[in-house]
Structure 1
Protein backbone atom coordinates (compact mmCIF):
# COMPACT_ATOMS: atom_id res chain seq x y z
CA UNK A 1 0.00 0.00 0.00
CA UNK A 2 1.22 3.50 -0.72
CA UNK A 3 1.92 6.05 1.98
CA UNK A 4 -1.31 7.98 1.34
CA UNK A 5 -1.51 8.87 5.03
CA UNK A 6 2.09 9.93 5.52
CA UNK A 7 2.11 12.85 7.94
CA UNK A 8 -1.29 11.92 9.39
CA UNK A 9 -1.69 11.01 13.06
CA UNK A 10 -4.47 8.74 14.32
CA UNK A 11 -5.42 8.10 17.93
CA UNK A 12 -6.89 4.74 18.97
CA UNK A 13 -8.73 4.85 22.30
CA UNK A 14 -9.06 1.51 24.08
CA UNK A 15 -9.39 0.05 27.53
CA UNK A 16 -6.63 -2.18 28.86
CA UNK A 17 -8.87 -5.26 28.84
CA UNK A 18 -11.60 -6.59 26.60
CA UNK A 19 -10.98 -5.00 23.22
CA UNK A 20 -11.97 -7.28 20.35
CA UNK A 21 -8.68 -8.59 18.89
CA UNK A 22 -9.37 -7.98 15.21
CA UNK A 23 -11.04 -4.64 15.87
CA UNK A 24 -7.81 -3.17 17.22
CA UNK A 25 -5.13 -5.15 15.39
CA UNK A 26 -6.51 -4.81 11.86
CA UNK A 27 -7.19 -1.04 11.94
CA UNK A 28 -3.72 -0.52 13.47
CA UNK A 29 -2.11 -2.53 10.67
CA UNK A 30 -4.22 -0.95 7.91
CA UNK A 31 -3.54 2.61 9.03
CA UNK A 32 0.17 2.02 9.58
CA UNK A 33 0.50 0.33 6.17
CA UNK A 34 -1.10 3.44 4.67
CA UNK A 35 1.62 5.57 6.29
CA UNK A 36 -0.23 7.00 9.31
CA UNK A 37 1.38 7.38 12.69
CA UNK A 38 -0.97 5.55 15.05
CA UNK A 39 -0.96 6.05 18.82
CA UNK A 40 -2.75 3.62 21.14
CA UNK A 41 -4.01 5.29 24.33
CA UNK A 42 -5.56 3.43 27.26
CA UNK A 43 -6.28 4.00 30.94
CA UNK A 44 -2.83 2.72 31.87
CA UNK A 45 0.40 2.20 29.98
CA UNK A 46 1.55 -1.36 29.32
CA UNK A 47 -0.67 -3.51 27.15
CA UNK A 48 -4.23 -4.12 26.04
CA UNK A 49 -5.41 -7.64 26.72
CA UNK A 50 -7.59 -8.37 23.71
CA UNK A 51 -10.40 -10.89 23.56
CA UNK A 52 -11.66 -13.01 20.69
CA UNK A 53 -15.44 -12.76 20.45
CA UNK A 54 -15.61 -11.27 23.96
CA UNK A 55 -14.57 -14.60 25.45
CA UNK A 56 -11.17 -16.11 24.67
CA UNK A 57 -7.92 -14.34 25.45
CA UNK A 58 -6.25 -12.90 22.39
CA UNK A 59 -2.81 -11.35 21.96
CA UNK A 60 -1.73 -8.30 23.87
CA UNK A 61 -1.35 -4.99 22.04
CA UNK A 62 1.19 -2.42 23.28
CA UNK A 63 -0.13 0.85 24.72
CA UNK A 64 1.77 3.99 23.74
CA UNK A 65 0.28 6.43 26.25
CA UNK A 66 -2.68 7.15 28.51
CA UNK A 67 -5.92 9.01 27.78
CA UNK A 68 -4.99 11.91 30.02
CA UNK A 69 -1.67 12.41 28.20
CA UNK A 70 -3.17 13.16 24.76
CA UNK A 71 -5.04 16.02 23.15
CA UNK A 72 -7.34 15.85 20.15
CA UNK A 73 -5.43 18.73 18.56
CA UNK A 74 -2.40 16.50 18.11
CA UNK A 75 -4.25 14.00 15.89
CA UNK A 76 -6.18 13.95 12.62
CA UNK A 77 -8.74 11.27 13.56
CA UNK A 78 -9.82 8.97 16.38
CA UNK A 79 -10.68 5.27 16.16
CA UNK A 80 -12.78 3.45 18.76
CA UNK A 81 -12.41 -0.34 18.50
CA UNK A 82 -15.16 -2.57 19.79
CA UNK A 83 -15.52 -5.42 22.15
CA UNK A 84 -18.34 -5.38 24.68
CA UNK A 85 -16.12 -4.92 27.74
CA UNK A 86 -13.93 -2.35 26.00
CA UNK A 87 -16.82 -0.21 24.77
CA UNK A 88 -18.56 -0.36 28.15
CA UNK A 89 -15.38 0.85 29.87
CA UNK A 90 -14.77 3.60 27.30
CA UNK A 91 -18.28 5.03 27.53
CA UNK A 92 -18.01 5.52 31.28
CA UNK A 93 -14.67 7.34 31.11
CA UNK A 94 -15.06 11.13 31.17
CA UNK A 95 -11.65 11.69 29.59
CA UNK A 96 -12.56 9.44 26.64
CA UNK A 97 -15.91 11.18 26.18
CA UNK A 98 -14.21 14.59 26.28
CA UNK A 99 -11.60 13.52 23.73
CA UNK A 100 -14.21 12.14 21.34
CA UNK A 101 -16.26 15.35 21.68
CA UNK A 102 -13.11 17.39 20.97
CA UNK A 103 -12.43 15.46 17.76
CA UNK A 104 -16.01 15.99 16.62
CA UNK A 105 -15.96 19.66 17.64
CA UNK A 106 -12.82 20.18 15.57
CA UNK A 107 -14.38 18.59 12.49
CA UNK A 108 -12.09 15.55 12.62
CA UNK A 109 -13.18 12.03 11.68
CA UNK A 110 -14.51 9.78 14.44
CA UNK A 111 -14.58 6.06 13.63
CA UNK A 112 -16.31 3.44 15.79
CA UNK A 113 -16.94 -0.26 15.25
CA UNK A 114 -19.14 -2.93 16.83
CA UNK A 115 -20.07 -1.89 20.41
CA UNK A 116 -17.98 1.31 20.34
CA UNK A 117 -20.91 3.51 19.21
CA UNK A 118 -21.98 3.30 22.87
CA UNK A 119 -19.28 5.94 23.39
CA UNK A 120 -21.03 8.15 20.84
CA UNK A 121 -24.26 7.94 22.85
CA UNK A 122 -22.52 8.94 26.08
CA UNK A 123 -20.62 11.75 24.33
CA UNK A 124 -23.88 13.15 22.93
CA UNK A 125 -22.83 12.46 19.33
CA UNK A 126 -25.41 9.88 18.25
CA UNK A 127 -28.57 11.99 18.19
CA UNK A 128 -29.63 12.74 14.63
CA UNK A 129 -26.76 10.79 13.07
CA UNK A 130 -26.90 7.92 10.57
CA UNK A 131 -24.79 5.04 11.79
CA UNK A 132 -24.42 1.32 12.28
CA UNK A 133 -23.11 -1.00 14.97
CA UNK A 134 -23.34 -4.57 16.12
CA UNK A 135 -27.05 -5.40 16.08
CA UNK A 136 -27.23 -5.94 19.86
CA UNK A 137 -26.88 -2.20 20.58
CA UNK A 138 -29.24 -1.06 17.83
CA UNK A 139 -32.01 -0.23 20.30
CA UNK A 140 -29.62 1.82 22.46
CA UNK A 141 -28.63 3.89 19.43
CA UNK A 142 -32.19 4.36 18.19
CA UNK A 143 -33.29 5.39 21.70
CA UNK A 144 -30.45 7.95 21.68
CA UNK A 145 -31.88 9.48 18.49
CA UNK A 146 -29.66 7.82 15.89
CA UNK A 147 -30.88 6.45 12.57
CA UNK A 148 -29.48 2.91 12.59
CA UNK A 149 -28.77 1.03 9.37
CA UNK A 150 -27.61 -2.56 8.85
CA UNK A 151 -24.73 -1.80 6.48
CA UNK A 152 -21.06 -2.74 6.34
CA UNK A 153 -20.00 0.90 6.82
CA UNK A 154 -22.08 4.02 7.33
CA UNK A 155 -20.61 7.47 6.70
CA UNK A 156 -22.36 10.53 8.09
CA UNK A 157 -21.11 14.05 7.38
CA UNK A 158 -24.29 15.80 8.52
CA UNK A 159 -23.03 17.77 11.51
CA UNK A 160 -19.56 19.07 10.80
CA UNK A 161 -17.44 15.96 11.27
CA UNK A 162 -17.26 12.64 9.45
CA UNK A 163 -18.68 9.81 11.51
CA UNK A 164 -17.57 6.37 10.31
CA UNK A 165 -19.28 3.36 11.85
CA UNK A 166 -19.15 -0.34 11.12
CA UNK A 167 -20.84 -3.47 12.47
CA UNK A 168 -18.32 -6.19 13.24
CA UNK A 169 -14.95 -7.77 12.37
CA UNK A 170 -16.32 -8.95 9.02
CA UNK A 171 -16.54 -5.30 7.97
CA UNK A 172 -12.98 -4.32 8.83
CA UNK A 173 -11.68 -4.01 5.26
CA UNK A 174 -14.40 -1.51 4.40
CA UNK A 175 -14.01 0.22 7.77
CA UNK A 176 -10.26 0.70 7.23
CA UNK A 177 -10.81 1.93 3.68
CA UNK A 178 -13.37 4.48 4.90
CA UNK A 179 -10.94 5.86 7.50
CA UNK A 180 -8.16 6.09 4.91
CA UNK A 181 -10.52 7.85 2.50
CA UNK A 182 -11.63 10.35 5.15
CA UNK A 183 -8.04 11.19 6.08
CA UNK A 184 -6.95 11.39 2.45
CA UNK A 185 -9.63 13.99 1.78
CA UNK A 186 -9.01 16.08 4.89
Structure 2
Protein backbone atom coordinates (compact mmCIF):
# COMPACT_ATOMS: atom_id res chain seq x y z
CA UNK A 1 0.00 0.00 0.00
CA UNK A 2 1.60 3.25 -1.14
CA UNK A 3 -1.03 5.45 0.46
CA UNK A 4 -0.23 7.85 3.26
CA UNK A 5 -2.21 8.58 6.40
CA UNK A 6 -1.74 11.88 8.18
CA UNK A 7 -3.13 13.00 11.50
CA UNK A 8 -3.40 16.64 12.39
CA UNK A 9 -4.68 18.55 15.38
CA UNK A 10 -6.32 21.58 13.82
CA UNK A 11 -8.96 23.16 11.67
CA UNK A 12 -10.08 20.99 8.75
CA UNK A 13 -11.19 24.06 6.78
CA UNK A 14 -7.59 25.27 6.50
CA UNK A 15 -6.21 22.15 4.86
CA UNK A 16 -5.10 22.16 1.24
CA UNK A 17 -6.44 18.81 0.10
CA UNK A 18 -8.39 17.43 -2.82
CA UNK A 19 -11.55 17.04 -0.75
CA UNK A 20 -12.71 17.89 2.72
CA UNK A 21 -15.29 15.53 4.17
CA UNK A 22 -18.16 17.28 5.88
CA UNK A 23 -19.93 15.55 8.76
CA UNK A 24 -23.26 16.77 7.45
CA UNK A 25 -26.87 16.36 8.46
CA UNK A 26 -29.30 14.76 6.03
CA UNK A 27 -30.59 18.12 4.77
CA UNK A 28 -27.05 19.21 3.71
CA UNK A 29 -28.01 22.76 4.69
CA UNK A 30 -25.32 23.30 7.31
CA UNK A 31 -25.65 23.05 11.04
CA UNK A 32 -23.48 23.08 14.11
CA UNK A 33 -20.01 21.77 14.75
CA UNK A 34 -17.72 20.95 11.84
CA UNK A 35 -20.67 21.14 9.42
CA UNK A 36 -21.30 24.78 10.31
CA UNK A 37 -17.59 25.61 10.22
CA UNK A 38 -17.19 24.13 6.74
CA UNK A 39 -20.24 25.99 5.44
CA UNK A 40 -19.02 29.30 6.94
CA UNK A 41 -15.52 28.87 5.53
CA UNK A 42 -16.75 27.79 2.09
CA UNK A 43 -19.26 30.60 1.71
CA UNK A 44 -22.58 30.73 -0.14
CA UNK A 45 -21.44 28.63 -3.13
CA UNK A 46 -21.38 25.53 -0.91
CA UNK A 47 -24.93 26.07 0.30
CA UNK A 48 -26.09 26.62 -3.30
CA UNK A 49 -24.37 23.39 -4.38
CA UNK A 50 -26.00 21.50 -1.51
CA UNK A 51 -29.42 22.89 -2.40
CA UNK A 52 -28.92 21.67 -5.98
CA UNK A 53 -28.05 18.16 -4.75
CA UNK A 54 -31.13 18.02 -2.51
CA UNK A 55 -33.36 19.33 -5.33
CA UNK A 56 -31.98 16.65 -7.65
CA UNK A 57 -31.98 13.61 -5.34
CA UNK A 58 -33.50 14.51 -1.98
CA UNK A 59 -31.84 14.42 1.41
CA UNK A 60 -28.71 12.34 2.01
CA UNK A 61 -29.42 9.17 4.01
CA UNK A 62 -27.32 8.18 7.01
CA UNK A 63 -24.16 6.38 5.90
CA UNK A 64 -24.30 7.77 2.37
CA UNK A 65 -22.24 10.56 0.78
CA UNK A 66 -22.51 13.19 -1.95
CA UNK A 67 -19.91 15.47 -3.52
CA UNK A 68 -20.09 19.20 -4.31
CA UNK A 69 -17.81 22.06 -5.20
CA UNK A 70 -15.82 23.54 -2.32
CA UNK A 71 -16.58 27.25 -2.53
CA UNK A 72 -13.82 29.29 -0.89
CA UNK A 73 -12.10 26.30 0.74
CA UNK A 74 -8.57 25.27 -0.30
CA UNK A 75 -9.99 22.03 -1.65
CA UNK A 76 -11.29 20.85 -4.98
CA UNK A 77 -14.48 19.40 -3.51
CA UNK A 78 -16.48 18.77 -0.37
CA UNK A 79 -17.75 15.28 0.26
CA UNK A 80 -20.80 15.44 2.53
CA UNK A 81 -21.57 12.35 4.55
CA UNK A 82 -24.15 11.73 7.23
CA UNK A 83 -23.02 9.80 10.26
CA UNK A 84 -25.35 8.07 12.69
CA UNK A 85 -26.68 9.53 15.91
CA UNK A 86 -25.42 7.44 18.83
CA UNK A 87 -28.33 5.62 20.47
CA UNK A 88 -26.40 3.22 22.66
CA UNK A 89 -24.80 1.05 19.98
CA UNK A 90 -27.69 -1.30 19.31
CA UNK A 91 -29.15 0.53 16.32
CA UNK A 92 -26.63 -0.38 13.59
CA UNK A 93 -24.51 2.69 14.38
CA UNK A 94 -21.15 0.98 13.73
CA UNK A 95 -22.16 -0.21 10.24
CA UNK A 96 -23.63 3.18 9.35
CA UNK A 97 -20.51 5.01 10.54
CA UNK A 98 -18.24 2.68 8.56
CA UNK A 99 -20.45 3.26 5.52
CA UNK A 100 -20.05 7.03 5.88
CA UNK A 101 -16.26 6.65 5.62
CA UNK A 102 -16.43 3.95 2.92
CA UNK A 103 -18.85 5.90 0.71
CA UNK A 104 -16.81 9.09 1.09
CA UNK A 105 -13.67 7.28 -0.06
CA UNK A 106 -15.59 5.74 -2.94
CA UNK A 107 -16.59 9.23 -4.15
CA UNK A 108 -12.95 10.34 -3.86
CA UNK A 109 -11.87 7.40 -6.05
CA UNK A 110 -14.62 7.99 -8.61
CA UNK A 111 -13.57 11.64 -8.90
CA UNK A 112 -9.82 10.86 -8.81
CA UNK A 113 -9.27 13.00 -5.74
CA UNK A 114 -5.77 12.34 -4.46
CA UNK A 115 -6.15 13.57 -0.88
CA UNK A 116 -9.09 13.54 1.52
CA UNK A 117 -9.44 15.05 4.99
CA UNK A 118 -11.91 13.55 7.46
CA UNK A 119 -13.21 15.06 10.67
CA UNK A 120 -14.25 12.72 13.48
CA UNK A 121 -17.70 11.91 12.10
CA UNK A 122 -20.63 11.65 14.55
CA UNK A 123 -18.58 12.41 17.70
CA UNK A 124 -19.88 15.93 18.29
CA UNK A 125 -23.55 16.61 18.84
CA UNK A 126 -24.42 13.13 17.50
CA UNK A 127 -22.71 11.72 20.61
CA UNK A 128 -20.80 8.74 19.18
CA UNK A 129 -18.11 7.69 21.70
CA UNK A 130 -14.83 9.06 20.35
CA UNK A 131 -12.77 5.93 20.98
CA UNK A 132 -15.22 3.65 19.19
CA UNK A 133 -15.67 6.11 16.32
CA UNK A 134 -11.90 6.46 15.87
CA UNK A 135 -11.44 2.68 15.71
CA UNK A 136 -14.20 2.33 13.11
CA UNK A 137 -12.86 5.25 11.06
CA UNK A 138 -9.29 4.01 11.08
CA UNK A 139 -10.16 0.39 10.30
CA UNK A 140 -12.51 1.40 7.47
CA UNK A 141 -9.95 3.74 5.91
CA UNK A 142 -7.16 1.13 6.14
CA UNK A 143 -9.41 -1.47 4.51
CA UNK A 144 -10.33 0.93 1.67
CA UNK A 145 -6.71 1.99 1.09
CA UNK A 146 -5.66 -1.65 0.80
CA UNK A 147 -8.14 -2.06 -2.05
CA UNK A 148 -7.29 1.05 -4.07
CA UNK A 149 -4.51 3.49 -4.88
CA UNK A 150 -6.99 6.39 -4.55
CA UNK A 151 -6.86 8.53 -2.60
CA UNK A 152 -3.11 8.78 -2.17
CA UNK A 153 -3.41 10.61 1.17
CA UNK A 154 -6.02 10.45 3.90
CA UNK A 155 -5.95 13.05 6.64
CA UNK A 156 -7.69 12.74 9.97
CA UNK A 157 -8.22 16.31 11.15
CA UNK A 158 -8.77 16.20 14.90
CA UNK A 159 -10.40 19.19 16.50
CA UNK A 160 -9.39 18.41 20.09
CA UNK A 161 -6.45 16.86 21.88
CA UNK A 162 -8.40 13.77 23.03
CA UNK A 163 -9.38 12.86 19.47
CA UNK A 164 -5.86 13.55 18.22
CA UNK A 165 -4.42 11.22 20.87
CA UNK A 166 -6.85 8.44 19.90
CA UNK A 167 -5.89 8.62 16.22
CA UNK A 168 -2.21 8.99 17.04
CA UNK A 169 -2.40 5.77 19.07
CA UNK A 170 -4.21 3.91 16.29
CA UNK A 171 -1.67 5.11 13.74
CA UNK A 172 1.25 4.00 15.93
CA UNK A 173 -0.29 0.50 16.36
CA UNK A 174 -0.89 0.22 12.63
CA UNK A 175 2.64 1.38 11.75
CA UNK A 176 4.08 -1.14 14.17
CA UNK A 177 2.02 -4.05 12.89
CA UNK A 178 2.15 -3.21 9.18
CA UNK A 179 5.43 -1.35 8.81
CA UNK A 180 3.54 0.98 6.48
CA UNK A 181 4.45 4.52 5.54
CA UNK A 182 2.48 7.30 7.11
CA UNK A 183 3.07 10.62 8.74
CA UNK A 184 1.77 12.52 11.70
CA UNK A 185 1.49 16.26 11.95
CA UNK A 186 0.77 17.98 15.22
CA UNK A 187 -0.51 21.52 15.56
CA UNK A 188 -2.66 23.75 13.43
CA UNK A 189 -3.10 22.82 9.78
With normalisation by structure 1, the TM-score equals 0.38
1 or 2 for the larger relative contact order (CA 8 Å, sep ≥6)?
Answer: 2
The structure where strand makes up a greater share of residues is: 1
**Greater Rg over alpha carbons, structure:** 2
The structure where helix makes up a greater share of residues is: 2
With normalisation by structure 2, the TM-score equals 0.37
